[in-house]
Structure formats: C-alpha cells, structure tokens
C-alpha cells in the first residue's frame, strides 16, 4: 500500500494554508491522517480559535473510519441525524460530518484523509483539494 | 495578550450574581474561563440545581473553543443540529450551544469567556454582560 | 442536613487564598464541593498553571465520593496503589489521593469538601483548614 | 503575553526533526502546544509507530497543565506513582510524565510546550531544545 509520506503531508498543509491566504479565507487549520486514522501532521494558522485541532481531526477521522467523505457524511446526517450522532459516540466524539473531511485514495484504496476547518465548509474543501493536487493525490470531498 | 485576572473574575461573578438578585432572576451560576478555556473562577448561588457547574462551563467552554458566542452557536445548532452535536462530542461533552456563553475580547482578541446559567438564556446574558461591564470588558453574547 | 452556603464557600476560598499569600505559599487554587460532590465555588490565583481546577476538584471529589480525606487516600494509595488507580477510573479520573482534599462534616455527617492545590500538599491543607475555620466548620484533612 | 506563532512552531518542528536525522536518532514526532495546551502544530516522521501523536501530545500537555517539564514529572512519578497516575486521570489520559515534554517560557511566563517522542527520552529532549533554540525561545526540560 502506498502511504502519504511526512514530506507530502507538509506540502499538503502548506499548500492548503497558502490557498486560504491567497483567496482571503479565514485562518485555516489542516490535518493529514494516515490509512489507520492516525495523525501524520497538523498546523493551525495564527488567529484561529484554540479548539481547531478537534474539528480538523474530526472531519478527517470520520472520513477514514467510515470510508465516507464529509459531504456524504453530511447527507447521511441530514437524512438520519441519530445515526451520525451514534457514529460520533462510537468513535469517541471524533466524527464531524460536514465537508472539509476529504478522503484520499490511491489505486482505489483509502490511504488517508485531509481535514480542513476555519472558513465555510465549501472553502475548506477548496483548500484541501489544492493541497492534495500539489502532491498529485486525488481527494474525494 | 491581556488576561482576565483572578480579581476581575471575582468582580464579574459577584456583579453578575447581584444583578440576578436585583432583577428577581432565579439563582444563577457563573463561570469565568481564560483564553485557553481553563477555569479561573466559578460560583453557584444557593437554591440552584447541583449540576449547574456543567452548564455554565459548557456555555463558556464552547464559546472559547469555537470562537463563537452562545447565540451564534444556537443559530448554527438550529441550522445544522448534527454539527453542534458533533462539536459536543469533539470537546468531550463540554459544549452547550445557547445564549449565556459570552465571549470576551480585548483589542479584537479572545481573552476568555463568561458562562451564566439559572434563569432564561436571555436573562443569563443580561447578568453576564453586567458582570463584564463592572470590569470594563466587552462581551460578545 | 446543614449545607455549605454560597456565602460560606466564598469566605472559605477568600480566607484560604489570603492564608497562602500571608505565608508566602505559591499561588493557590481552592474549590468547595457540596455533599453530592458538586461544585459550589472555585477560584484560581494569578500565576497558577492552567490545569489547577482539575487537581483541586480531584482532591475534593475523591474525599466526598470515598468519604476519606486526602491523607487517608494517600495512605491507601501507598499500601495499594492499584486500588486508588481503580478509584480514579471508577470516578472518571476525578480522584487525586493526596493531602489537600479536606472532608467537611457537621454533626458527624459529610456536608462537602474543600480542595486546595498550588503549594506542597501539607501547605495546601493549612490553607484549607484556615478557610474552614473562618466559617466555624470542621475539616478532616 | 507573547505567543508561539504558527511560523515559529513549524521552525521548531523542522529543526527538531532535522536534529534527529543528523544525530541518527530514530524517527521523531514533534508537537507544539500553546499556553492553554491546545495544538499549534504536529509532525510525525516516516517510519514512526502510528500512535506517536498521543505520546508527543501527552508529554507536552502534562507540561502545560501542571506547569512542570517532563523531568520534574518523572521525578514526581518515581516518588509518588499514584499521584502521577491520578494526574493522568484528571487530564483525560493526556499526561506522559517523562523527559521530552519541554515547557516554554517567555519573561518567566509559560507560553506553551514542545513534546518530542521517538528516540530515548534524553535524545527527545536534545531535539526539542534544538528546535526551540532555532526560534530563540527558552525551554525547561
């Protein structure tokens, strides 16, 4: 299995955050998780609320654990709120079912996820995909 | 960054609780958190339910962690209930998204939060703002 | 059952903290819990580590939940470390088995506890007992 | 109060990890927390065990919450194992009392902590201090 390297993770984070600055987004926080849902790298921009790690982590962790990107989780949350509430409980509170949790695949296999938080969920996705494009990886948002 | 001192926290609490007595509110509980969401001071009036610490704390803690006052959290909870449920999970159950969690800023920077509970959410806000006014601090309710 | 009033709790805290200042102790944090182990009041002096609420709370909460003051809990921890580790787990991590958790009785009945942290455990006890003396309550340290 | 900026955090991490490579340490993981114990940035080197975030975090978080660097926590754990076990419980399992949790002060005030894990605890400290030196900050190991 291919994995996201530490160097790629830094490029993803740097590029996602630079994208946010270029487009005038609010300060972003970006996390990269591996195929097991474990943290590879994280950064929080100056001016963010202190608790941003938890949101970035929850977006990406939910994506890996459920094998569903944030938009699919949100659709499920709207259809069955109690189901996603249960998922939040099952995974220790670490599931945030909104866009910004981007699943990363290689040859059809999940190799990790990127979580972005700070601006609107849609802008968070823009930043995440820009980060992934910088390392030639495909994201499912 | 300026911080809320222990002496200011006591004045905030004393004034908020006195405001409640003057206006005939039900017994109030008041908490002051610092910029990292850690407790500086708390008091619960005689006649309160025993669990008031958790509510006061959750109102103020959510405000600091998310950088959003209680009213904004409530609006988000009404628009996307599953999102605020997820925030509650992410922050270990310590998010109560209703008015009464008042964000405290100084020169545009969050330096803490006040959480009040006991009467209606709107009256809780009145007491919190009275407490902050007594130490010349600005609250975002 | 007599209870510790909100006014008494404030006097306990104010006196305990003033005792610390008079005696040159490090900055203290002081909590008062009721007979159910619920927070009545808390204060943390300027210059304390941010996490002091948890330690003050754990000293007092363990005292109420187990009906044993901090010194008795410490003796038990030294004799049977695994037992006090289990108690910590049973009560959600909220048991800190060292002196500074002072059980408060009235007519032989537990009506609450005071928890003090910041200096040595022995000095923490001195401050707690001074606070209780100021409201004519008896502490078991 | 001065804070550790996002840019400084990246330099601390990059330098600490480069120090590990230069000296032939095992792959390191490095975290930077702010004065409230919240994550500013984290990175895990290729070849690390997946759970390294938790160890790096626990070393740094315990340092901030207790106001004690890892070496002081370890001394306390050796003298009173049940006390540090209790601290682990109080802070939700997020206290790892060994060297590698380095307290960062500015003008005598705690502004955050660096946590390093991967090699021996002593080598972890070497890397952390190298990272802090690169941004002219002082570490208490």
For D38, which of A38, A41, A53 is closest by C-beta distance? A53
Q: Which residue of A has its CA nearest to B85?
A: A85
Chains with ≥3 CB–CB distances under 8 Å to A: B, D
Q: Which one of C49, C58, C78 has the shortest CB-CB distance to D86?
A: C58
Fold (CATH) for A6-140 = Beta-Lactamase (3.30.450)
Subunits with 3+ C-beta pairs closer than 8 A to C: B, D
Query: Could you give the strand order of the β-sheet that contains B109-117, starting from the edge strand earlier in sequence?
Result: B138-140, B101-106, B109-117, B29-34, B39-44, C39-44, C29-34, C109-117, C101-106, C138-140
B vs C, Cβ pairs < 8 A, gives 48
To the nearest whole angstrom, how far is the Cα of B102 from the nearest Cα of chain D?
Answer: 19
What local confidence, expressed as pLDDT, does residue C1 receive? 61
Q: In D, which residues are within 8 Å of A56 by CB distance?
A: none
To test the contact with chain D by mutation, choose from C28, C46, C50, C73 the residue with the greatest count of D C-beta atoms within 10 A, namely: C50
Cβ-Cβ contacts under 8 Å for B46 (sequence gap 6 or more):
B27, C5, C6, C7
Q: Kindly report, residue by residue over B81-129, the tens digit of the pLDDT.
A: 999 999 999 999 999 999 999 999 999 899 999 999 999 999 999 999 9
pLDDT of residue A24: 98
- CA-CA-CA-CA dihedral for D53, D56, D57, D58, to nearest 10: 120
Residue B103 CA to chain centroid, in angstroms? Answer: 7
User: Quick one: which H or E segment has residue D2?
Assistant: none
Determine the average pLDDT of the residues in B48-76. Answer: 97
The strand pair at D109-117 and D101-106 is best described as antiparallel
Q: What is the pLDDT of residue C54?
A: 97
What number is the ipTM of this complex? 0.95
Q: What are the pLDDT digits (tens) for A93-132?
A: 999 999 999 999 999 899 999 999 999 999 999 999 999 9
* CB contact (8 A) between residue C98 and residue D83: yes
pLDDT per residue, tens digit, chain D (141 aa), is 589 999 999 999 999 999 999 999 999 999 999 999 999 999 999 999 999 999 999 999 999 999 999 999 999 999 999 999 999 999 999 999 999 999 999 998 999 999 999 999 999 999 999 999 999 999 999
What is the pLDDT of chain B when averaged over all its residues?
A: 96
Does C129 score more than 70 pLDDT?
yes
CATH T-level fold of D10-140: Beta-Lactamase (3.30.450)
Pairing outcome for strands C109-117 and C101-106: antiparallel
Residue C44 to residue B43, Cβ atoms within 8 A? no
Q: Would the pLDDT of A1 be above 70?
A: no
Residue C79 — pLDDT band, cuts 50, 70, 90? very high
Domain map (residue ranges) of chain D:
10-140
CB contact under 8 A, D42 and A46: no
In whole angstroms, what is the distance from residue A59 CA to residue A34 CA? Answer: 13
């Amino acid at each position: 299995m291919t994995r996201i390297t530490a160097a790629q993770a830094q490029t993803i984070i740097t590029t996602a955050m630079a994208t946010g600055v270029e487009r005038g987004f609010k300060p972003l926080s970006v996390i990269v998780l591996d195929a097991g849902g474990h943290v590879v790298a994280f950064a929080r921009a100056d001016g963010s609320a202190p608790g941003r790690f938890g949101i970035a982590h929850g977006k990406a962790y939910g994506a890996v654990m459920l094998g569903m990107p944030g938009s699919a989780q949100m659709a499920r949350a709207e259809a069955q709120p109690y189901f996603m509430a249960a998922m939040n409980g099952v995974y220790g509170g670490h599931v945030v079912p909104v866009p910004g949790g981007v699943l990363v695949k290689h040859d059809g296999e999940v190799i990790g996820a990127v979580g972005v938080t700070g601006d609107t969920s849609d802008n968070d996705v823009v930043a995440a995909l820009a980060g992934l494009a910088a390392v030639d990886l495909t994201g499912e948002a």
